[in-house]
Every structure is written in C-alpha cells, then in structure tokens.
Amino acid sequence: MWGDAWRRLRKNRVAMLCLALVALFTLMAVYGELVYRYHDFKDITPSYQKTHLDLAFQPPSSKHWMGTDGLGRDVMSRLVQGVTIAYKVGIITSLIAIPIGVFFGCIAGFFGGKVDDFVVWLYSTFASMPGLLFILAIAMVVGKGLLGIYLGIGLTTWVGICRLVRGEVIKHKSQTYVQAAQALGLGSGRIIFKHILPNISHVIIVTFTLRFPAAVGTEVFLSFLGIGVQDQPSWGLMINSARMRLWQGMWWEMTFVTLAVFLLVLAFNLLGDALRDALDPRLND
Amino acid sequence: MIDSKNIIEVKDLRVHFGHGDDRVRAVDGISFSIAHGETLALVGESGSGKSISALSLTKLAPRQATYAGGQILFNNSNMLKLSDRELRKIRGSQISYIFQEPMVSFNPVFTIGWQIEEALKLHRKDLDRKAEIGRLLDLVHLPDRLAAAYPHQMSGGQLQRCMIAMALACSPELLVADEPTTALDVTVQREILNLLKELSEKVGLSTLMITHNLGIVSDLADRVCVMRKGRIVEEGATRQVLDDPQHKYTKHLMAAVPRLKPSAAKKTSPEEIDDEMKRWMPR
C-alpha cells in the first residue's frame, strides 16, 4: 500500500516540490536543534544570540545573506532557529491534539449513546471557550514559554479532529464491512482501531498537515504578543522586532521571516492534499 | 435440550424495533431448526424479517433491536443469553456469514489475503496462515496471487468467492448466506450457487440460505420456510412446498417468478392479482 502511494506521489510534480521544501525545512530544524544543543551543552552563547551593535541593520550581503537585525545578529541563523521552534510547536501540539481527538472521536462515533453524549458535551465545552483565553490561562499556570504554548494549543485544537473523526466513524460503522468484521467475531476495539481507523487515516493525515502550519501560525502570533517564546529566536519575536524598522527601509528581516512562514504553510498544505490522494486506494489506480 | 440431529433450533423468536405503539415486530414468533448437513431456505419478500432472523442467530441485529422472546439453541446453549465475549467466540468460528453485497463487504484499504488472515488469526492460532489462505482460495477456485489484491481490483463474483473463502476459514458448522447472489448478474449467480452446493457437499456444512429467489430454493435447499411479516406461513420439504404450495402467499410468490416462456406460467388476470393483493395486504 505504501509502495503504491509513493509511486502515485512521485508522479505529482507539485507534491514532490513541496516534499523537497518540507525536507529542507526539516533539515534546517534538525540542524538548528543540534546547534542549540551544542551551545547549551558547552554553556556558551551561540552566535545568533551575540549582539554586535556596530553591525546593526546591515542589508543582505555575502557575509550576512539575509542581513542583520537591530542588535547586529545574523538574520539567517536566527531564522533557522525559528524553524526549529516552529517544528517543535507543530509536532508536539499535534502529538497532543491528534491522539486525544482521534480516540474520543472513534469511541463516540462507534459506540454512540451515552459515550457519544459525553464526548460531544466534552468537546462542546472546550469549543465554547475562546482559544486564546484558554492558552493564556494555561500560560498563566505553567508560566510563559514553550510549555504553555504546547499545552495551550494542544489541548484546544483536538476538538476539530474529534468532530471530523466522529463523523467519519459514524459513516463507516454502518457499512457492511464492519458488519462482516463483527460476523467474524472481532471485538469492538479491534474493529475501531484496526479496521475503521485505516479507512479514515487520510482524514488524520490531512488534519495533521493543516494542524501543523496552523499551530506554527498560532505560535508566531503568541510570541508576537509576548506570551510565547521568551529568549529564543522565534519567528513571532523576529517579526515583532522587524516591524519597528520596516518603515525606515529595513525590509530584509520581515521579508525573509514572512517568506519562511509562507513557504512552510504552503508546502505542508499542498503536500497534505497530494498525500491524501495518493493514500486513498479507491481514488485512482 | 436440543435434538441431537439438529445443529440449531430456533423457538418462538421475537425481535422488535422501537417501543410502545411504535413497536415494529420485525420477527414475530418464528420457529425452525436445521439438521446437520441440511440446507434450509428462508424465503420471503423484502422486509419480511428474513435478514433480521438470520442476524439474530448470533445477536448481530442492529443495536436498536430488542430480543423480546424465544430461544436460539446452538451447542446446548441459548445464544440470546450468552455474553458478548462468548458470542464473539462463536461468530466466525462456528457460525459464519456471507452477505448480500460482496463489493462493500470487504474493507477497502486491506488486501483480500489480510482480511482472510484476520479470521484465521482470531480463531485458529497455531497454523501456517499463508498456506491456509492459498488452500482456501483454491477451494473457491481462485488463484492464490489474488490474496495480494485489493477489493476494488476484483469483480463482484470474485469477491463473493473470497467472501465464501473467508466464511469457511475457520471451518464453521453453520453457514448463513444472506441473499448471496442478489447483487450479482445471472451467470455469476449460477457459478456461486454451484460453488456453494459443491462446498456444502464437500465440507458437510449446514446452511441457512436467505433468499427471495425461488430458483435458488429449488436448486439448493432441502427444506423451505416461507416468511411474511415476521411470521413463517409455510414450512416443508422443498419439492413439496414448490410443487404443491398450501398457503396463498406461497402461491403468490411463485406466480411472481418471471419466466422465459410466459405461456408456461399460469395466466393470472390483473383482477385476480388485485383480489389476491387485497386479501394478503389489507389496507
């Protein structure tokens, strides 16, 4: 099945371009994390944190490809660190939100009745709270920084996945193949997670590829507001600092950071779409 | 106690949907039994309660259904009283099903082989599964390379053969075939029926055949129960019922069978049919 999907995906040029972009971003994220860990381990200030006031606001040149910011730090190396943080936020929040949403969606859709009532009540309660307030509340409890962002975004965004999965499971459980599985004597757990779940995996993959850039966007926004990342070079912080000088013609920091956000979001969205088409054996052959 | 010559005995089974005045008596006190190696056909129009009766044998009827009364005796236990866990052990291993529409009865994202393996994994643990899958496909006259095929790559007839292979995977004692040929075209129907006949002789299966096609009944069944509105209106040996139907509804069913040469059929005037409809479906 995966071999077939890969063969179909390879035919799609846009998807391959997006895959290359995602791979590039992933490499940057891994590199950024290694650099960060290295400096953390050696207990020295990394170059992207050192201030050189005499080098402030240098336009892009052969030495600093993306110029320098107001404290003379290289924009490109800070941008790479930004990728690391974006990836961490995207992956960890998805790892929190998707299992919760999928689990509750599956049991609610399959068992119906009281279980369904409880899950619907639960996600309606979560959905009725303004997301930003919820994140702020969590940030107040666990303190500002990445942990608050992980928990805040992760615990609020499972609602959408849960609704989608619940609907899909309800649709699938009335199909004959589920009845056939029951007639074979399979238990409910195995039917839900082994037979129905693979049928709705495209929903989960697409949700992930939409969730990921959305989480990155939320993180950028929160850091921009000052309740997110504190001392690391997050894209939100960079945009915040760049906006002050934009009208004076210091275009490079803003341009490159927003371009990075744009490319990341676009690549993930297009790749998600192509993956869904490739993974669904019924769509083409 | 169950009669030793019978594999299953259904006594006064009642399955209802809804409550109070809205209650629908889908199955309204039916009794039948199937002897070892026998094929019983349950015949009737759509909505007469055939499928619900068949699904009720292992309590597979939709969740909204309530089992309002009766007994289903299988292996000296009453199926209606068993726990879910005990029922799951019986489903697939001792009583297995073939459904009406093979095209949607398979999980679209798994290969046929994987799905047959699921049944084997569950009920027969110590076994060379690859070889067994090959043997099963061979039994239904399919090449074993089809084990690697997905359901959408196969035809309806091939899928119904796979369905039969899957149903036979754990050598059940009773096979319930719920309109196994309705969704297939006539030539494929013939093949599937021949296959079922061959297998029931080879393996010595007892079969409950649900159908509204009297042609199938005369070919395959040893005995027939005619159902209408949740009740059995006539029961007997196949030849006896088909040659000399006692109940008017059975005659009505037989008159409804399309024939190639209309002259051979008993001519019924529209007025007579109207009369019969009034008698049998009073408004």
Is residue A269 a part of any domain in this protein? Answer: yes
Overall number of domains in chain A: 1
CATH of the domain at A138: 1.10.3720.10
Residue A284 located in a structural domain:
no
In this structure, is residue B61 part of a structural domain?
yes
Query: What pLDDT, on a 0 to 100 scale, did the predictor assign at position B283?
Result: 45
Is residue A275 one of the residues assigned to a domain?
A: yes
Number of structural domains (chain B) is: 1
Share of chain B above pLDDT 90, in %: 1
Is it the case that residue A165 has pLDDT exceeding 90?
yes
- Token pair 């149903």 is at which residue? B167
Are residues B43 and B257 in contact, defined by beta-carbon separation less than 8 angstroms?
Answer: no
B147, part of any domain: yes
Residue A281: pLDDT band (50, 70, 90) is low
> How much is the average pLDDT of A4-9?
78
Average model confidence (pLDDT) across chain A: 84
Considering only CA atoms, which of B139, B178, B185 is closest in space to residue B162?
B139
Does the residue A139 lie in any domain?
A: yes
- For chain A, say whether B123 makes contact (Cβ under 8 Å): yes
Cβ neighbours of A180 in B, within 8 Å: 97, 99, 105-106, 163
Name which residue leads in pLDDT, B128 or A177.
A177
Domain contains A93: yes
Confidence of residue A99 (pLDDT cuts 50, 70, 90): very high
Q: Which of A45-59, A93-107, A252-266 has the lowest mean pLDDT?
A: A45-59
ipTM for the complex?
Answer: 0.78
The residue among B52, B94, B86 whose CA lies nearest residue B70 is B52
Interface list for B 181-240 with A (CB within 8 A): none
**What DSSP assignment string belongs to chain A?**
-HHHHHHHHHH-HHHHHHHHHHHHHHHHHHHHHHHHHHHHHHT---TTT---GGGTTPPS-SSSTT-B-TTS-BHHHHHHHHHHHHHHHHHHHHHHHHHHHHHHHHHHHHH-HHHHHHHHHHHHHHHHS-HHHHHHHHHHHH-SSHHHHHHHHHHHTHHHHHHHHHHHHHHHHTSHHHHHHHHTT--HHHIIIIIIGGGGHHHHHHHHHHHHHHHHHHHHHHHHHTSS--SS--HHHHHHHHHHHGGGT--HHHHHHHHHHHHHHHHHHHHHHHHHHHH-TTT--
pLDDT reported for residue A122: 94
DSSP summary character for residue B200: I
Percent of chain A's residues with pLDDT above 70: 95
Count Cβ–Cβ pairs < 8 Å, chain A vs chain B: 69
Which range among A222-236, B9-23, B251-265 shows the weakest confidence by mean pLDDT? B251-265
pLDDT at residue A138 greater than cutoff 80: yes
Which of A109-113, A164-168, B43-47, B269-273 is least confident? B269-273
Q: Is B124 on the interface with A (CB under 8 A)?
A: no
Where residue B139 sits, what CATH number does that domain have?
3.40.50.300
Indicate if the pLDDT at residue A199 is higher than 80. yes
B131: domain range? 6-244
Looking at the predicted structure, is the pLDDT value of residue A284 above 80?
no
pLDDT of residue B66: 85
From the candidates A1, A174, A177, which should be mutated to test the interface with B, based on the most B CB atoms within 10 A? A177
**Yes or no, beta carbons of B60 and A183 under 8 Å apart:** yes
What is the pLDDT, as a whole number, of residue B275?
64
A184 contact residues in B (CB cutoff 8 A): 91-92, 96, 118-119, 122, 166
pLDDT at B78 over 90: no
Whether the predicted pLDDT of B262 surpasses 80: no
Is B107's CB within 8 Å of A183's CB?
A: no
Nearest to A176 among B101, B109, B153 (CB): B101
CA A213 to chain B, closest CA, distance in angstroms equals 28
pLDDT of A87 > 70? The answer is yes
Asked if the model's pLDDT at residue A197 lies above 80, the reply is: yes
pLDDT (tens digit per residue) in A148-163: 888 888 888 899 899 9
- Does residue B101 belong to the interface with chain A, where contact is any CB pair within 8 Å? yes
Q: What is the pLDDT at residue B23?
A: 85
Q: Which of A4-13, A148-157, B109-118, B201-210 has the lowest mean pLDDT?
A: A4-13
Are A186 and B118 within 8 A, CB to CB? yes
Domain span holding position A82: 2-279
Instruction: Tell me if B90 and A185 make a contact (CB, 8 A cut-off).
Output: yes
- pTM here? 0.80
In a domain, B136, yes or no: yes
Residue A285 within any structural domain of the chain = no
Selected residue with higher pLDDT from B176 and B123:
B176
Confidence label for B279 from pLDDT (cuts 50, 70 and 90): low
Distance CA A129, CA A122 (A): 12
Residue of A nearest to B101 (CA): A176
For residue B218, give how far its alpha carbon lies from the nearest alpha carbon of chain A (Å): 27
